[in-house]
Structure 1
Amino acid sequence: MTVKVKAAVLTEKETIEIMEFPIPETGDNDALLHVEACGVCGFDSEAYLYGGNGVFQLPCVIGHEIVGRVKNLGHKAAERWGVKEGDRVVVEEYIPCGACNNCLTGNYRQCFDLRYGAMNINNEKTALWGGFAEYMYLHPNSIIHKASPNVSPELLQLYIPISNGIHWVQEVGNTKVGDTVLIQGPGPMGLGAVIGAKEAGAGKIIVTGMSKDEHRLKMAKEFGADHTFFADTQDLVKEVYEVTNGKMADTVINAATAPQQLVAALDLAGLRATVVHSGTDEKLSQNLMSSKITWKLLTIKGVLGRPTSAVGVALRVIESGKYPLEKMVTHSFPVEEAAKAVRTHAYGEDGCIHVAVVNEKF
């Protein structure tokens, strides 16, 4: 008798259905993952609200901030990944080819043949690619990291926002000890950037958000922010000027998706500062003042996730217990209620900050 497992499938705009799929067969080079927890990301919410996006082609199992236990592990896969059956791991969303120039130079996030951990259920060997499921297929080229068995999976699934924040602030933003870091957007990525700035030894950490983000800004202070400001009711340039004695920020992290964030960053950045931009809004270019970039000698860098090296650092931070990360995971839902989980995140319901889909232990 074929064993079937449940998965949450995004079938159309704002529609997620619970379906059953057979557990796929595995061989020497691959494995299965019993999913323990999977965070809801902005890409998931975007696909939910708009009926797919450039990453997720419907119908598909979404979810890519994944933590679980390795099962049905092939011999060659065990050697390649350095894990054994039953180990807890986190799984990156990327499935690169491993052979193109981007992969060979460590830039696998820009792989020419990149697949993501959520693929159309009609186009692949198995439908079980995404994390909003009881089990997930681990492709031979999956990128996995061993994680502590002693830390809650609901905390470990924060590895993406925290590793992004560490990479964006420290490696891309080139933040040095004593620098002023300003973070626009107190969502999960912004809070991860607060941790990244704190770990880098930043001298001053400033976080901006909207009035509705008051509870998130309070959490930013718990994570180490020195100042928080409301972009919709306060003069950010004036406030930042005052708390930095006119120097403004050495590093600006755009961790929100508001159309005005890149424009605002040019004013909030100090001389020779670096602006790290994670947004995708195409309406920004007409509002940018290139003279500010020129006269301030600004460096503007785009970011796309994080390299694998940052994931290990993030896991050690989570495992250290240095930050009250449990306050960041405000909502958890079983896989059967994945639709409610994604809707809660997409519409910011009930004061949510980070939402997780979890499975009970089998």
Structure 2
Amino acid sequence: MAKMAKAAVLTKKETIEIMEFPIPETGNNDGLLRVESCGVCGFDSEAYLFGGNGVFQLPCVIGHEIVGRIEEIGEEAGKRWGVKVGDRIAVEEYIPCGHCDNCLTGHYHQCFELRYGAMSIDHSTTALWGGFAEYMYLHPNSIVHKVNSDVSPELLQLFIPISNGIHWVQEVGNCRSGDTVVIQGPGPMGLGAVIGAKEAGAGKIIVTGLSKDEKRLNIAKKFGADHIFYADTQDLVNEIENVTDGKMAHTVINAATAPQQLAVSLDLAGLRGTIVHSGTDDRLTKEVMGSKITWKLLTVKGVLGRPKKAVGTALRVIESGKYPLEKMISHSFSIDEVGQAMDIHANGKDGCIHVAVVNE
């Protein structure tokens, strides 16, 4: 095995540099991953565009939708994770501490005590944390999932948008068999939510986007959406009233970044509906929020990631081959091309849907 590993490092705003780092030594409780594929997430793009954020402290190796094979594994780590050298695994971006209130109450994805994504505990001693690298260190507290070695790692790295969609629709959005689900935004998270709704047995799945999203909206139909509407050319409220006989949606998933989406979702949700919101909105007034939420008895919930159970479910869905997931992956790049990958994803160039970084 090589003594050094190549990695793509975000050094400053819109700047990726390819560097080499010593491969860390492993012991009884940790391991080493040979990265096979890693997806580009909107959180990575945010750090790229703005030169870091509250989580990614520069310089760092970004990338946290990670799939690879175990290169080295300590005896205790192997027992704990149920894996051995050569096994293919998906690695969650979280490294929870295991003892804070968030961890002990099952909300480990809100634990920031150790590391999230590519933010290392100590940049001066350990560099190989992120997924845009040839190898990655597996911390003893890492959360890993053994996956089918026969399935392409390029497909398996979709586990984050699909697990988010499953969790947001089914657990947070309380979607039940026969319910109507409206998904605003046909990006990777929105497409994952279509799968989440389909797996929940939703009676009607409606996806909204813009005219420029036509390719993504067509993928949503291939995943099982019953109706697609264009927010820039159609009256969403009227269209959804028509196809739901005026009942509107039981569950609304806001999976886009448009600032007005939360305001719109108050109209798209039916009586006693649930709105799941993953973005921000600074255009709402107390009068609008109060009156519509109160009179409709709406529930509005924010989301941040997903729990382990949803990741396992998503991986089984990917392994099943039930959906043409390859249509989500619009671009693939090598480690040496991460700068190009980030530019395309962050700026929405070249018909970008989902971008994968793949190690041959």
Given the two structures, how large is their TM-score scaled by the length of structure 1?
0.97
Aligned to 1:254: 254
Opposite residue 33 of structure 1, the aligned amino acid is L
Question: Are the equivalent residues in 1 in contact too, given 2:4–2:23 (CA < 8 A)?
Answer: yes
Instruction: Please give the alpha-carbon distance, in whole angstroms, between the structure 2 residues aligned to 1:271 and 1:120.
Output: 45
Aligned to 1:314: 314
Task: Report whether the alignment pairs 1:19 with 2:19.
Answer: yes
Indicate the SS of the match to 1:33: strand
CA contact (8 A) 2:262 2:281 kept: no
Could you give the per-residue CA deviations for residues 294-344 of structure 1, whole angstroms, max 9, x where no partner exists? 000000011110000001100110000000001111110001000111111
Return structure 1 stretches of 4+ with deviation > 4 angstroms. Answer: none
Q: Partner of 1:350 in structure 2?
A: 350
- In structure 2, the partner of 1:57 is 57
C-alpha distance in structure 2 between counterparts of 1:122 and 1:71, whole Å: 23
Identity between Structure 1 and Structure 2 (%): 76
Corresponding residue number in structure 1 for 2:48:
48
Residue of structure 1 equivalent to 2:282: 283
Kept after mapping to 2: 8 A contact 1:59/1:121: no
Deviations 1:236-282 (A, max 9, x none): 00100001010000000001111011111001000000000111x25
Q: Distance in 2 between matches of 1:344 and 1:2?
A: 31
Contact map agreement 2:65 2:158 (CA 8 A) in 1: yes
Matched residue, 1:113 = 113
Q: Determine the structure 2 residue equivalent to 1:336.
A: 336
Residue 181 (structure 1) shift: 0.2
Structure 2 portions without partners, runs of 5+: none
CA distance in 2, matches of 1:114, 1:7: 21
3-state SS of paired residue (2:73): coil
Structure 1 pair 24/249, CA: closer, same or farther in 2 (3 Å)? same
Partners of 2:51 and 2:283 in 1: CA distance: 24
The residue aligned with 1:327 is 327
3-state DSSP class of the match of 1:97? coil
Q: 1:33 to 1:284 in 2, by over 3 A?
A: farther
CA–CA distance in structure 1, aligned partners of residues 119 and 87 of structure 2: 25
**How much has 1:352 moved relative to structure 2?**
1.4
- Kindly indicate whether the alpha-carbon contact (under 8 Å) linking 1:119 and 1:127 is maintained by their aligned counterparts in 2: no
Q: Deviations over 1:31-90 (max 9, x none)?
A: 010000000000001111111111211110000000000111001100111111110000
State the partner residue of 2:78: 78
**SS across alignment from 1:176:** coil
Q: 1:31 matched to which residue of 2?
A: 31
Q: What is the alpha-carbon root mean square deviation over aligned residues?
A: 1.4
Deviations 1:164-188 (A, max 9, x none): 0000000111101100000000000
Task: Tell me, in whole angstroms, the C-alpha distance in 2 between the residues paired with 1:68 and 1:2.
Answer: 17
Deviations 1:76-109 (A, max 9, x none): 1001111111100000000110111211221101
- Output the CA distance in 2 between the equivalents of 1:347 and 1:255: 18
Letter matched to residue 283 of structure 1: D
Moved more, 2-11 or 242-251: 2-11
User: Deviations for 1:127-175, whole angstroms, at most 9, x for unmatched residues?
Assistant: 0100000000100001000011000000000000000000000011110
The question of whether the paired residues in 1 share the 8 Å contact of 2:9 and 2:17 is answered with yes
Alpha carbons 1:69, 1:88 under 8 Å: kept: yes
- Using the size of structure 2 for normalisation, the TM-score is 0.97
For the 8 Å contact 2:115–2:121, the answer to whether it is kept is no
